[in-house]
Amino acid sequence: MTAASELNFFASADGNIAYLDTGAGDPVVLLHAGYVDHRLFEAQTPVLAAAHRVIAVDVRGHGWTDNATKPFRWADDLAGLLRHLDLVPAVVAGVSMGGAIAGDMAIEYPELVRGIVLSGSSVSDFQYTHEETRKVVVESHRALHSGDIEGWTKIFLGAVSGPFRSPDELDPHILNHLCEMALHTIAKHTPGERDWHVPMTDTWSRVPKIDVPVLVINGTLESPDLIADAELFAATARNGRSVLVEGTSHFPNLERPEEFNAIVLDFLRSL
């Protein structure tokens, strides 16, 4: 497991952004899901770093990166980091929230990106339509903002397992790993604090303009509305394709790491 001492820090205009920098070659940037951090990719980082320079970022407010003190967008943070490291254009790959940020990068900063990978995500202003998924999102926000960490953890694990399984059906090591990361990030915040994040809007209308290669990866046990929107994203972008990983839900990179890695490596070789 990555130690904090192994991380690098970029002094942005609003605090430090932490990132792991390993390997050599064409750059690949890894962006984690909400609440967790760069350790989400422990099964991907060494494999990709065998032939690429891998930058695994803790996005603002997560992991070891500072919280915001003024309005910000994650895509702007990432653009600043990539320019600082002189790593453009890069392949940007993300899971869940990280995938949405990768899409935002292709929309807002096309000159910095040579390909994107989205797993468990579509556009950043995605609207949940599946009834059970909407319920999970609403309850999650309620529990977190009220300080009910035990209740939030239960909801979080339910979201991880997807709408068709219970957390008991997942590898407990995966659940423990996710909870450890999430609780570390949550400890950086206080209930009811101001959210400085400025979301992107009207992203769907700009997806057809994305002209870099796009790979979308989803688990077959993912929420149906998310799969549908992710596949629509791949079909709407100029050069997109979609892959399903059997028997997984929101984190195929954790449940089927070898298969996930092979899919990503095949995509990278095609660029």
Cβ neighbours for 12, distance < 8 A, ≥ 6 positions apart: 77, 80, 81
Verify that 11 and 57 share a domain, yes or no.
yes
Amino acid identity, position 110 = P
Which of 165, 186, 207 is a domain's end point? 186
Q: Does position 143 have pLDDT exceeding 60, yes or no?
A: no
Tell me what the pLDDT averaged over the chain comes to: 91
Enclosing domain of residue 115? 4-128+196-269
Closest CA to 57 of 47, 176, 87: 87
In a shared domain, residues 97 and 168: no
Q: Both 172 and 38 in a single domain?
A: no
Does residue 191 form part of some domain?
no
Q: Are 44 and 32 in contact (CB under 8 A)?
A: no
Helix (H) or strand (E) holding 31: strand 26-31
Q: What is the DSSP letter of 67?
A: P
How many domains does the chain contain in total? 2
For residues 28 and 115, is the Cβ–Cβ distance under 8 A? Answer: no
Same domain? 202 vs 80: yes
Do 215 and 174 belong together in one domain?
Answer: no
Burial of 120 from C-beta contacts in 10 A (0-12 / 13-18 / 19+): buried
DSSP state of 160: H
The answer to which of 39-48, 179-188, 237-246 has the lowest mean pLDDT is 179-188
Assess whether 23 and 97 both reside in one domain.
yes
Cis peptide upstream of residue 257 (ω within 30 degrees of 0): no
Q: Which residue has the higher pLDDT, 2 or 22?
A: 22
pLDDT value for 123: 85
Nearest Cα residue to 255 out of 178, 197, 155:
178
Of 143, 160, 186, the last residue of a domain is 186
Indicate the pLDDT class of residue 122, thresholds 50, 70 and 90: confident
* pTM of the predicted structure, to 2 decimals: 0.94
Mean pLDDT for 49-75 is 97
Residue 53, pLDDT > 90, answer yes
